[in-house]
Amino acid sequence: MGETVSHAWVLKRRPQGRISREDYEWVETRLSEPGPDQVLVRTIYLSLDPTNRIWASDMDQYMPPVELGEVMRGGTLGVVEASGHADFSPGDIVQGIWGWQSHYLAEGGDGLTKMPVMPGVPLDAYMSVLGATGMTAYFGFLDIGKPQPGETVVVSAAAGAVGSIVGQIAKIQGCRAVGIAGSDDKCRHLIDDLGFDAAINYKTADLDASLAEACPDGVDIYFENTGGSITDAVFKRLNLHARVPLCGLISHYNEFDGVTGVRGPNNYQQVLMKRVLIKGFIIIDYFPQFPQGIGEMAGWLAEGRIKYRTDIVDGLENAVEAVNRLFDGANTGKLLVRCSAEP
Ligand SMILES: NC(=O)c1ccc[n+]([C@@H]2O[C@H](COP(=O)([O-])OP(=O)(O)OC[C@H]3O[C@@H](n4cnc5c(N)ncnc54)[C@H](OP(=O)(O)O)[C@@H]3O)[C@@H](O)[C@H]2O)c1
């Protein structure tokens, strides 16, 4: 097959504020045919995640920061194009975190997980509802939130990848699901398409009044994706023994490395008065339990009880600009880059 031309986004400097095109360099390399034990993979989908902004910074974080000069880290799904490794054959669908590059030459199959592709399940499902995103919703909500039928659940960034799944699992558990999102269209989508009981546009609504109306019995679980003024408003309505799975704080990510740092909730005393459990979690801690979570989620998906949406941007060359869609609220559902066509 000869040489393969590969393209990659390499981190050139640490972003200040929003990620910009100047923070990255577009690099071309030539990969030779895979030798013994090597596997050549073509990237099909790249996951864009709010945490890309964290990985690009050198703040104290849950994984080593991406080093300057390194290919930007990112969750990926691809197809094996050629293989010198006994366990991988051309056409195999594989997942990994080989990052923002069009091709990957894996040594010894390192970092490649062969996907047991299920009939009738589209490939983008493995990068969303049946991938790390879906599992973040599943384990964060069920393991930390410990929902009981009849309880009220509020989720922020509710029309996004994680939030949209949290609200639907809340309904499956017999809870009242209230979503907070950034547009009227997203709020309509939550109620009409995903079965949320209520939705609040935090950009236009009086948050306090809308939450009082949407949560007449208070809030038992707040699935935290944003931080900021949404948190302050929801905390006022937390019930006794409420649970707060702390999944993300996207409203702060562009300021983490600034001098100001991150504000906590302005009504922290509520945690004491209401004996609230707040627990931060990172989905990688749940990797060993993924088969169980994916199994149950796949069942709900097949029964039509869980729906998912992917928001797809075409072309790896557009990845840097596209990641800011997450911070602008331009995405609905899981944001992916389609780097090349599905086989
Ligand atoms: N702990 C973990 O292991 C883990 C794993 C995955 C994701 N996460 C976290 O989960 C959260 C959601 O991630 P995701 O991948 O599902 O992304 P997403 O929700 O699909 O996209 C991010 C959404 O956040 C909202 N947003 C952006 N800036 C905001 C702000 N200043 N205030 C309020 N909302 C804002 C936007 O929607 P609107 O239009 O509604 O503003 C945007 O669509 C993030 O905080 C992420 O870091 C954590």
Query: Are residues 195 and 228 both part of a single domain?
Result: yes
Q: Quick check: 223 pLDDT over 60? A: yes
CA 224 – CA 271 distance, rounded (Å): 14
343 lies in some domain = no
pLDDT at 146: 98
Dist. CA 223 → ligand 1 center (Å): 11
Query: Are residues 193 and 157 both part of a single domain?
Result: yes
Q: Quick check: 257 pLDDT over 80? A: no
pLDDT at 240: 98
- Whether the full predicted model's pTM is greater than 0.75, yes or no, is yes
pLDDT band at 260 (very low <50, low <70, confident <90, very high): low
pLDDT at 330: 98
136: Cα within 13 Å, side-chain hemisphere: 24
171 lies in some domain = yes
- CATH number (domain holding residue 186): 3.40.50.720
157 touches ligand 1 (CB under 6 Å): yes
The domain of 175 spans 132-302
Which ligand 1 atom lies nearest to the CA of residue 334? 20
pLDDT at 29: 97
Burial label, 133 (beta-carbon count in 10 A; 0-12, 13-18, 19+)? buried
Query: Are residues 259 and 314 both part of a single domain?
Result: no
CA 155 – CA 219 distance, rounded (Å): 10
pLDDT band at 119 (very low <50, low <70, confident <90, very high): confident
Mutate to test the pocket of ligand 1, among 129, 133, 226 (most ligand atoms within 8 A of CB): 226
**Cα Rg, the chain, nearest whole Å:** 21
| Torsion sign, CA atoms 130, 132, 137, 138 | positive
51 touches ligand 1 (CB under 6 Å): yes
220 lies in some domain = yes
pLDDT band at 169 (very low <50, low <70, confident <90, very high): very high
Dist. CA 250 → ligand 1 center (Å): 5
Give the tokens for residue 238.
């937390």
Q: Quick check: 258 pLDDT over 60? A: no
Query: Are residues 117 and 145 both part of a single domain?
Result: no
Query: Are residues 163 and 99 both part of a single domain?
Result: no
Is-contact 44 123, C-beta < 8 A? yes
Give the tokens for residue 132.
């790390």
Count of the separate structural domains present in the chain: 2
233 lies in some domain = yes
Which ligand 1 atom lies nearest to the CA of residue 333? 20
